[in-house]
Amino acid sequence: MLMHIRGLTVSYPAVGGWLGGRRRSVTVLEDLDLELAEGETLGVVGESGSGKTTLANALLGLVPVERGEVSFQGADLLRLRAKMVRRVTREIQIVFQNPYSALNPRLRVFDAVAEPLRAHREAAPTEIDEHVPHLLREVGLTPEFLDRHPHELSGGQAQRVVLARALALNPKLLVLDEPTAALDISVQAQILNLLRRLQREHGLAYLFISHDLSVVQHLSDRIAVMYLGQVVESGPAEEIFGHPQHPYTIELLEAVPTLHPERRTSQDTLPATVPSPAYPPTGCRVHPRCPLVEERCRREQPALATFQNREARCHLLTEAG
Amino acid sequence: MSGELLRVTGLEVDFETPFGLSRALRGVSFAVESGEVFGLVGESGCGKTLTGRTILGLVPPNAHVRGSVSLHGRNLEELSPKRRREVRGRQLGMIFQNPGQALNPVFTVGQQMAAIVRHHRSLRGRELRARTRTLLHEVGLPNPGEIINAYPHHLSGGMQQRVMIGMALASEPELLIADEPTTALDVTIQAQILSLLTTLSERHRVAVLLITHDMGVVAATCKRVAVLYAGRVVEEGPVTTVFSQPYHPYTRGLLASLPEPEKRSQDLPVILGSVPSGLEALPGCAFAPRCDSALPACKDTAPPEVRFEPSHRTECHLYDSEGR
């Protein structure tokens, strides 16, 4: 295993009441367990407020973690000594949704891609001059882009530059947070193909976060479905998409508009909206919108249980065995 | 369906820019029938939003508009400016991608809606409140009494969009122009809003011009669709045939590049190159530089319109006038 996440919990302080008098905290990730093997793609899906982006930020140390353990190649990411931080975290790089806000508008493409090499004193200046064009070629850009600024790039080109920069330090894991959400369909296809090739050639593992289930399905080996800070179902991609078991996963997949509406089994849509993570429902978090809700679901929170080929958090599934 | 509601013919919009005249729409033509959901689909920069705005007359002052927009066969350009405004205000409604930005944050939902209801029908007091409540009820908001007193930030994105649709319905329009109405929403909420739009068209006979980049949304909601590329409709027809048997190479390329379960763990076919800028002169087919099947004629001769079934047409040199 490349990475083991155990009991990861993240809370944000929330200020409530008149003039912020009452303080409380909002748990946005609760006891999250995930595993990621080398060279594998784990797709993380869920609606807004499910905690997908917080998960990415927590792995990169961008938000404080309340408790839990992230073991990455044997090192505990959350308890690294300062000296080790640089050595371990260079193995994890991130690509965000909007490439224009991820690139410094004043830096040329060359400097943007060279920056991690310089920051980590990875290479001598002459080596950087050679290595940066090589990285651009890896992502399908010619050296003529070296002198451009971000505003001279199309969305797809800018996202390629971000990928080149992420690859500069030879990471083991790329966290991809909605990397194609801001792109047009035809460009999205190019970036998805590029991601597949890079993974093959560099043995990269991807943590692929997206609300677009068709994109996640295209790239992922395994899927984790999140709801209000918890994983409700996870397992191999074919299983989750082909035979979803958790009522929430079933409804979520039903909601995706496809090119072939005639293949759809039902026209039902989830009734309620997502409750605020600040006030999670009692019992099973999905119960207010679950079509199969039972009395027990309102009272007791189901544990994440293992079935043949997946894990799921649902009383009905546990009972059915 | 009962006849043609909206017809857009040869709509051209040019913008004056410091770099010269930019041609944003290069002759957009299509028609929407009463009570149908019609999809206008394309990538960013193809002119889909501008088409919607031009129909409503919401174009910036530096835009030059040519071509015609007709409602029930009546060309809006032939009306006096005052009458034109009335017709647009009453018969057309519009909703936008980001309902949170379209609603006024300092007024309650009830106040904002009442202002519009009052404008269209001179109701007051109890009647006004009742009408507002009815509208909220029609868009599927569960407890209109509470929503009326809520401020926009109290509502979720899906509820805000429902309020927007309710406001757009206040004038009982015949056509609702919905510009990416679900792009900012989660898939589950998207499904609800799309089913609301479908219901409105079926039950209240409101036609919807659904502007979107999402082919799945079109497939789930629309009866007919027009595919825009570089400010021109390259293909138009019933959704079922356009998506199952696309004729234009651009439509084909777009559909092929979508990730679908069957294409899992395969490279997706891509359309190389990029969309031409409005500043470029395009004497031939705008898609020719990116087209796999381009013929010599594509570069310098405008493609002819080819009709297949009576309602399915494309603009492409690959087919002769009999549609082969």
Instruction: Give dist(CA B261, CA B248) in Å, integer.
Output: 24
Which residue of B186, B190, B260 is the best one to mutate when testing the A interface, meaning the one whose CB has the most A CBs within 10 A? B186
Tell whether the torsion through CA atoms of A44, A46, A50 and A53 is positive or negative.
positive
Q: A188 and B257: CB-CB below 8 Å?
A: yes
Give the 3-state DSSP-derived string for A205-262, with helices as H, strands as E and coil as C: EEEEECCCHHHHHHHCCEEEEEECCEEEEEEEHHHHHHCCCCHHHHHHHHHCCCCCHH
Question: Would you call A141 helix, strand, or coil by DSSP?
Answer: coil
Instruction: Tell me the sheet residues that pair with B15.
Output: B22, B63
Count the neighbouring beta carbons within 10 Å of the beta carbon of residue B57.
Answer: 15
**Within an 8 Å CB–CB cutoff, is residue B292 touching chain A?**
no
B50 Rama class: left (phi>0) / alpha (psi -120 to 50) / beta: alpha
- Residues B82-87: contacts with CB within 8 Å, 24+ apart? B84/B57, B85/B57
Q: Are A226 and A44 in contact (CB under 8 A)?
A: yes
Q: Which residues of chain A have a CB within 8 Å of the CB of B219? A: 257-261
Q: Which residues of chain A have a CB within 8 Å of the CB of B100? A: none
Q: What is the pLDDT of residues A91-131, one digit of tens each?
A: 999 999 899 999 999 999 999 999 999 988 878 889 999 99
Q: Which residues of chain B have a CB within 8 Å of the CB of A184? A: 43-44, 213
Could you tell me which residue, B203 or A260, shows the higher pLDDT?
Answer: B203
Instruction: Give dist(CA B146, CA B154) in Å, integer.
Output: 11
**Within an 8 Å CB–CB cutoff, is residue B254 touching chain A?**
yes
- Lowest average pLDDT, out of A224-238, A258-272, B232-246, goes to A258-272
Which residue of B44, B98, B187 is the best one to mutate when testing the A interface, meaning the one whose CB has the most A CBs within 10 A? B187
Instruction: Give dist(CA A229, CA A194) in Å, integer.
Output: 30
Q: What is the pLDDT of residues B247-278, one digit of tens each?
A: 999 999 999 999 988 888 789 999 988 888 88
Question: Would you call B64 helix, strand, or coil by DSSP?
Answer: strand
β-pair type (A41-45, A222-227): parallel
Count the neighbouring beta carbons within 10 Å of the beta carbon of residue B244.
Answer: 11
Q: A260 and B219: CB-CB below 8 Å?
A: yes
CB pairs under 8 A between A and B: 104
Confidence at B2, pLDDT banded by 50, 70, 90: low
Residue A51 has pLDDT above 50, yes or no: yes
Q: B257 and A184: CB-CB below 8 Å?
A: no
What's this model's pTM, rounded to 2 decimal places? 0.89
Q: What is the pLDDT of residues B222-244, one digit of tens each?
A: 999 999 999 999 999 999 999 99
DSSP string, B260-319: -GGGTTSPPP---S-PPPTTS--SS-TTGGG-TT--HHHHHSPPPEEESSTT-EEE-TTS
Q: Are A145 and A154 in contact (CB under 8 A)?
A: no
Q: Which residues of chain A have a CB within 8 Å of the CB of B194? A: 257
Q: A186 and B243: CB-CB below 8 Å?
A: no
Please name the residues between 7 and 26 in chain A that touch chain B, using a CB distance below 8 Å: none
Q: A154 and B261: CB-CB below 8 Å?
A: no
